[in-house]
Structure 1
Amino acid sequence: MSETRFYPTRPVLAASVAVFRDGRVLLASRGKPPGENLFSLPGGQVETGETLAEAALRELQEEVRVKAKLIGLIAPVEFIERDAEGRIKHHVVIAAHAARWVSGEPQTGPEAREIRWVTEQDIVGLPMTPGLAAILEQAFRLERRDAAR
């Protein structure tokens, strides 16, 4: 993890991916802050010279050992967290993508403590990172539109 993730001098750019398989989306509970123990999409920081799409697919492979094919960009998510003194502790801008599963069975690890394939109905009541419910709503819409083609 880069030192600039905590108390950054500028926003950190990241990418994530909602992977669909048989009408379900892959969620992982985060193993590290921010959002530790909350369900989220696999993802992480964009590396220099890497596109948002490349970063999303690389992070998916690194975090949960799954390969997927992107079907579209969903939306940006902004996560800003302040500490008790009001200083910016985290500022991450995440480009969320939707994709279809290609191969690999998801595996837990340091960044993904628990993994679940969930339906839209399963999402209700899950402890999730801020803004994830709205992203998942858009992801399911995009997935249905792509499946109808």
Structure 2
Amino acid sequence: MTDDRFYPSRPVLAASVAVIRDGLILLAARGKPPSEGLYSLPGGMVEIGETLGETALRELREEVGVEAEIISLIAPVEFIERDERGHIKHHVVIAAHAARWVSGEPQTGPEAKDIRWVTERDIADLPLTAGLTGILQQAFRLAREELRP
């Protein structure tokens, strides 16, 4: 399998997950480019034979050591970055999901250099990856629905 994340010949498919626990959502500061240092959802590239939900949960386990169960697909997010010459350096289509926390305390690592459980108010003060604010707003709406008796 070739790694075509940089200067891809076509968009790369990925999945991410907003894990909900007690009305909070798990965010991780990216430990690697692109968007290194920005807060995002755990996630990564879809492997052949995986569903989008399976990818989101696998990446969650690998990146931060948390187990969850998918509630729903939220929306796609496109990340397109050009280099200084105007060539497409990254083009990733990310299927963002919401999930209910099941077990595990999140751990930092090479792909997640900081981890936070955040409230909806917290997101205004954090440096976030492009397009994440709308995804988080939808995830918090789902979190409120989850907490209803």
Indicate the RMSD between aligned Cα atoms, in angstroms: 1.0
Look up the match of 1:57.
57
Query: Which ranges in structure 2 are unaligned for 5 or more consecutive residues?
Result: none
Give the aligned partner of residue 102 of structure 2: 102
Do 1:66 and 1:105's aligned partners in 2 also have CA atoms closer than 8 Å? yes
Query: Is the CA contact 2:13–2:93 (under 8 Å) kept in the aligned structure 1?
Result: yes
Counterpart of 2:20, as a letter, is F
Deviations 1:15-73 (A, max 9, x none): 00000111110000000111100000000000000000000000000000000011111
Quote how far apart the aligned CAs of 1:10 are: 0.4
C-alpha deviation, 1:145, in angstroms: 2.3
Whole-angstrom distance in 2 between the partners of 1:147 and 1:51: 27
- 1:86 aligned partner: 86
Q: Could you say which residue in structure 2 is the equivalent of 1:71?
A: 71
Aligned to 1:4: 4
> CA shift at 1:144, angstroms?
1.8
- AA aligned opposite 1:86: G
Question: Match for 2:7: what amino acid?
Answer: Y
Aligned twin of 1:147: 147
How far, CA to CA, are the matches of 2:145 and 2:52 in structure 1? 22
Percent identity between matched residues is: 73
Tell me the amino acid that sits aligned with residue 17 of structure 2: V
Could you state the TM-score of these two structures normalised by the residue count of structure 1?
0.96
Rounded Cα–Cα distance in structure 1 between residues aligned with 2:92 and 2:11: 5
TM-score (norm 2): 0.96
Q: Deviations over 1:52-97 (max 9, x none)?
A: 0000000000000000011111000000000000000000000000
Would you say 1:15 and 2:19 are equivalent positions?
no
SS of the equivalent of 1:128 reads coil
**Contact 2:107–2:115 (CA under 8 A) maintained in structure 1:** yes
Alignment partner, residue 35 of structure 1 = 35
- The whole-number CA distance in structure 1 between the counterparts of 2:3 and 2:43 is 18
Instruction: Kindly tell me the number of residue pairs found equivalent between the two proteins.
Output: 148
